[in-house]
Amino acid sequence: MKKISYIGINEATITGTKNPLLTIKGKIKKKEYNFLVYVNGKKIKYDNVNQGFEDLFAITANLGKDVKNVEVYIVTDRDKELIYEAKTNLLKRIIKTVLYKIKRFVKKVFHFFRIIKRGISFFWREYHFLVPISLLPKYWRDFKNSMKRGESLFYNPNIPSEYRKWLDLHPMNIKTEKLDYNPLVSIVTPVYNVDEEKLSECIESVLNQTYENWELCLVDDASKNSETIQTLKKYEAIDNRIKVKYNKENGHISKTSNDAIRMSSGEFIALLDNDDTLDKNALYIMVRELNKNRSIDMLYSDEDKLDTNNKRCEPHFKPDFSPDTLLSLNYICHFTMIRKNLIEKVGGFEIGLEGAQDYDLFLKITEQTKNIVHVPYILYHWRMSETSTAKSMKNKEYAINIGKKVLEKALERRKIDAIVEVDKKSSYYRIKYNIKKQPLVSIIIPTRDFAETLKTCVDSIFDKTTYKNYEIIVANNESKEPETFKLFNKYKKEHKNFKVVDINIEFNYSKINNIAVSKAKGEYIILLNNDTEVITPEWIEYMIGYAMQEHVGCVGAKLLYPDNTIQHGGVVLGLGGVASHAYIASDRDDIGMFGRLRVPYNYAANTAACLAIKKDKYEEIGGLEEELKVAYNDIDFNIKLLEKGYYNVFLPQVELTHFESKSRGLDTTSEKYKRFKIESKYMYDHWRKMIDKDPFYNDNFSKKGWFQLDKK
């Protein structure tokens, strides 16, 4: 095989004895390409695994028992070139399987010793090896679970085969019942040159709906494909709820969609593309939500995709309405139902924004209403055709640029001074709010001795921060070491914006911060742990830009361990107990599911290790709960903001290193455990409903592993 300049193979293996599986992973510079896989000279189907990065690919293929020769070709617009070939037989695969099992055993042994090493470090740091007997069963369970995680406890939703296994375990069994409120739903579908099979599947998915009060408004955009016209005429004659209009001139998707809306008579408009399909209960489940609350103006569901072999893949399990996430990407997408009068109010689909016309419409609708409901069921199957943004990178590039324009227009409408940045790794967006007059920002840093730790933190602020108008308030909690006071005096002499507030009380993180905030002169507050180090020079500009927005509660940052893995990537309520950080120990450069580690996202909570908020909002909710002296005070604080109707935002573009808590010292084991139990009980007593259902974490995801699917 000759070397191909635009493709590199990182892994190419055939594994399995009875059911051999081909796996190929690599990097590619081309944007338009496809693969062909041949077994014994015969073409077979393969799965394309989503890798999260535009330039990475991975394919898997079941080869069959009689495989002898395997060839894989890459096909571009000009060439078909061989990238992999192999000869295999049962003996070779048995040897490879044995070697694989040996490697797996060795890996498990190393995994065992890593857990033991971490355990020794943890038990010394937390208990000096004097572990309470009552905690031993818990740590034994944790040990067993950690060993099991050598093999995944979850299904990865981004791996098609695993997602389909999860679907088999979770069939959507919906019992339909008579509804009191049955509004007419008009499904609008622009049609253009789609083949008979796909268009028929689309229309049949509407005809098969368990909810019957619908009409399907199809507008053909001057198709030249005779199959398309014949299929429309066939279904037009089948059911009088199907309305068809045939345009004489091609007007593109926005105009054609508006034509379909004008044809409609329904109270609600539902959007369906001409080659996609609906779950049979899609309309019923949506209308069932309307029966619970008739004031709802807009509903959206979860979705997945249909690959070129018509197999389901790439699910998108969405959060409840998240306005800042929507400014990062069109996460709403499909399946969406909106009141017709609202669509008419905003002028329908805007001509000239084809490629992001839905995104534009959703942004306009969300400016008109907050009665928006997310329905956590996969009701829509988006086909990965060669011309859709679901598959084609060329079309995706076009859509990205139009999406940027849509966001810029939205900011202009909202009279918000900001710029839209495109994140190159994820292709999603970041809003950078412009701050014309820099308000005073008070950075609150609680500390107790550990002068070197504090010095690293404060030096990084003074040395790297580009924002000019800030003050640092060190909340000194019973420091005793001479080095600490020497450091205080040094900073006081060198910097006019540095001061120390002595708070000599028993350690109570909440009370210490509340007292320090009361002494702060800033319009905005940043709570910051003393064991952090600033990485991003514009950290304050980004965080305060979001904190200035009326709808925003608190703003968090991406915190990294010293080894450049993630310590904080947003907080999920109910994950592993009361709450837990997402993406712990993931790589710093990980994109995260749908860009969660690259662009701003709404989360239920952020850690107070680095947290920005407007001071009057801090005071509005009474500050940090002083009954929670150590644990969960920041989670309680975030939930109170949600209760007030604010949205909390996580900004992955703001990075700090977090060296973990050092200055609190060791507590006696029994006191520490008792306090933890008391503070956990407080959270369950006050916030059980929110802990059980985090509005920004989809119900389908596991509560044991972030953004994974449970095997059971």
Q: How far apart are CA 270 and CA 214, in angstroms?
A: 10
Q: How far apart are CA 637 and CA 554, in angstroms?
A: 9
Q: How far apart are CA 643 and CA 239, in angstroms?
A: 48
My answer on whether 143 and 203 are in the same domain is no
Confidence of residue 394 (pLDDT cuts 50, 70, 90): low
My answer on whether 205 and 348 are in the same domain is yes
In this structure, what are the phi and psi dihedrals at residue 558, rounded to the nearest 5 degrees? -80, 120
Per-residue tokens: 137:
């069963």
Residue with tokens 């693969």, as numbered in its chain: 35
Cα dihedral sign, 103-60-598-394: positive
Give the C-alpha distances (Å, rounded to integers) separating 213 from 221, 264, 289: 26, 13, 15
Confidence of residue 57 (pLDDT cuts 50, 70, 90): confident
Per-residue tokens: 658:
């977090």
- Residue 495: partners with Cβ closer than 8 Å, 6 or more residues away: 462, 472
My answer on whether 280 and 255 are in the same domain is yes
User: Closest by alpha carbon to 652, among 571, 531, 581, 559?
Assistant: 559
Does 522 reside within a domain?
Answer: yes
Q: How far apart are CA 505 and CA 518, in angstroms?
A: 16
Q: How much of the chain, in percent, has pLDDT values that exceed 90?
A: 69
Helix axes 90-127, 136-148, angle to 10 degrees: 150
Q: Mean pLDDT throughout 9-26?
A: 82
Confidence of residue 664 (pLDDT cuts 50, 70, 90): very low
Give the C-alpha distances (Å, rounded to integers) separating 399 from 201, 256, 394, 427, 473: 26, 18, 9, 10, 46
- Residue 524: partners with Cβ closer than 8 Å, 6 or more residues away: 439, 440, 441, 442, 544, 547, 548, 612, 613, 614, 615
Give the C-alpha distances (Å, rounded to integers) separating 82 from 7, 76, 525: 11, 12, 59
Give the C-alpha distances (Å, rounded to integers) separating 195 from 200, 230, 387, 629: 8, 10, 13, 65
584 touches 567 (CB < 8 A): yes
Exposure of 20 in the CB half-sphere (CA atoms within 13 A) = 23
User: Closest by alpha carbon to 609, among 537, 534, 544?
Assistant: 534
Residue with tokens 């005793």, as numbered in its chain: 480
Q: What is the pLDDT of residue 665?
A: 42
Does 156 reside within a domain?
Answer: no
Q: What is the pLDDT of residue 118?
A: 63
Could you read off the pLDDT of 289-311 as tens digits, one per residue? Answer: 999 999 999 999 999 999 888 99
Element housing 687 (H / E): helix 669-692
Number of domains in the chain: 4
Q: 56-65, 321-330, 538-547 — which is least confidently predicted? A: 56-65
Asked if the peptide bond before residue 321 counts as cis, ω within 30 degrees of 0, the response is no
Could you read off the pLDDT of 438-474 as tens digits, one per residue? Answer: 999 999 999 999 999 999 999 999 999 999 999 999 9
Q: What is the pLDDT of residue 50?
A: 46
CATH number at residue 39: 2.60.40.10
My answer on whether 502 and 550 are in the same domain is yes
Q: Name the pairing type of β-strands 372-383 and 298-306.
A: parallel
- Residue 562: partners with Cβ closer than 8 Å, 6 or more residues away: 657, 659
User: Closest by alpha carbon to 220, among 189, 241, 198, 197?
Assistant: 189
Per-residue tokens: 195:
């083949």
Cα dihedral sign, 190-237-284-388: negative
My answer on whether 557 and 471 are in the same domain is yes
Q: How far apart are CA 127 and CA 669, in angstroms?
A: 6
Confidence of residue 663 (pLDDT cuts 50, 70, 90): very low
My answer on whether 42 and 112 are in the same domain is no
Q: What is the pLDDT of residue 390?
A: 44
Does 166 reside within a domain?
Answer: no
* Secondary structure class of 190 (helix, strand, coil): strand
65 touches 89 (CB < 8 A): no
Could you tell me the end-to-end alpha-carbon distance of the chain, in angstroms, rounded to an integer?
44
Q: Mean pLDDT throughout 655-683?
A: 71
Q: What is the pLDDT of residue 2?
A: 63
303 touches 686 (CB < 8 A): no
Confidence of residue 667 (pLDDT cuts 50, 70, 90): very low
Any idea how long the chain is? 712
Q: What is the pLDDT of residue 521?
A: 97
- Mean pLDDT, rounded, of the chain: 90
Q: 50-59, 511-520, 550-559, 576-585 — which is least confidently predicted? A: 50-59
Last residue of a domain, one of 67, 88, 109: 88
Last residue of a domain, one of 64, 88, 112: 88
Q: How many CB atoms lie within 10 A of CB 15?
A: 13
Residue with tokens 């002068």, as numbered in its chain: 451
Q: Name the pairing type of β-strands 566-568 and 552-560.
A: antiparallel
* Higher-scoring residue by pLDDT: 212, 64: 212
Q: Name the pairing type of β-strands 709-710 and 154-155.
A: antiparallel
Could you read off the pLDDT of 182-224 as tens digits, one per residue? Answer: 999 999 999 999 999 999 999 999 999 999 999 999 999 999 9
Q: What is the pLDDT of residue 406?
A: 97
In this structure, what are the phi and psi dihedrals at residue 556, rounded to the nearest 5 degrees? -115, 170
Q: How far apart are CA 358 and CA 258, in angstroms?
A: 12
Q: What is the pLDDT of residue 6?
A: 76
In this structure, what are the phi and psi dihedrals at residue 560, rounded to the nearest 5 degrees? -115, 145
Confidence of residue 102 (pLDDT cuts 50, 70, 90): confident
User: Closest by alpha carbon to 692, among 700, 684, 682?
Assistant: 684
My answer on whether 498 and 591 are in the same domain is yes
Q: What is the pLDDT of residue 376?
A: 96
Q: Mean pLDDT throughout 350-369?
A: 96
Per-residue tokens: 312:
């389901």
User: Closest by alpha carbon to 443, among 428, 426, 460?
Assistant: 460
My answer on whether 309 and 457 are in the same domain is no
Q: How far apart are CA 24 and CA 12, in angstroms?
A: 4
Q: Name the pairing type of β-strands 298-306 and 418-422.
A: unpaired
Q: What is the pLDDT of residue 49?
A: 57
Q: Name the pairing type of β-strands 441-447 and 470-476.
A: parallel
Does 354 reside within a domain?
Answer: yes
- Residue 189: partners with Cβ closer than 8 Å, 6 or more residues away: 202, 216, 217, 218, 219, 260, 272, 273, 274
383 touches 376 (CB < 8 A): no
My answer on whether 397 and 492 are in the same domain is no
My answer on whether 100 and 73 are in the same domain is no
Range(s) of the domain holding residue 137: 93-151
Confidence of residue 393 (pLDDT cuts 50, 70, 90): very low
Q: What is the pLDDT of residue 3?
A: 72
Could you read off the pLDDT of 266-289 as tens digits, one per residue? Answer: 999 999 999 999 999 999 999 999
* Higher-scoring residue by pLDDT: 622, 675: 622
Last residue of a domain, one of 397, 415, 433: 415
Q: How far apart are CA 427 and CA 447, in angstroms?
A: 40
**Bridge partners for 375 per DSSP:** 301
Q: Does the structure show a pLDDT above 60 at 666? A: no
Cα dihedral sign, 128-133-135-137: positive
Residue 528 DSSP symbol: E
Give the C-alpha distances (Å, rounded to integers) separating 574 from 145, 357, 644, 650, 697: 18, 36, 20, 18, 10
Q: Mean pLDDT throughout 690-710?
A: 94
Q: How far apart are CA 656 and CA 606, in angstroms?
A: 14
Q: How many CB atoms lie within 10 A of CB 583?
A: 22
Q: Name the pairing type of β-strands 47-48 and 56-62.
A: antiparallel
Confidence of residue 51 (pLDDT cuts 50, 70, 90): very low
Q: How far apart are CA 341 and CA 348, in angstroms?
A: 10
Does 426 reside within a domain?
Answer: no
Does 423 reside within a domain?
Answer: no
My answer on whether 147 and 200 are in the same domain is no
**Bridge partners for 277 per DSSP:** 381
CATH number at residue 463: 3.90.550.10
Q: What is the pLDDT of residue 232?
A: 97
User: Closest by alpha carbon to 508, among 477, 474, 481?
Assistant: 477
Q: How far apart are CA 303 and CA 163, in angstroms?
A: 13
Q: Mean pLDDT throughout 18-33?
A: 80
Does 424 reside within a domain?
Answer: no
Q: What is the pLDDT of residue 583?
A: 92
Q: Mean pLDDT throughout 68-77?
A: 87
Does 219 reside within a domain?
Answer: yes
My answer on whether 284 and 305 are in the same domain is yes
Element housing 326 (H / E): helix 323-326
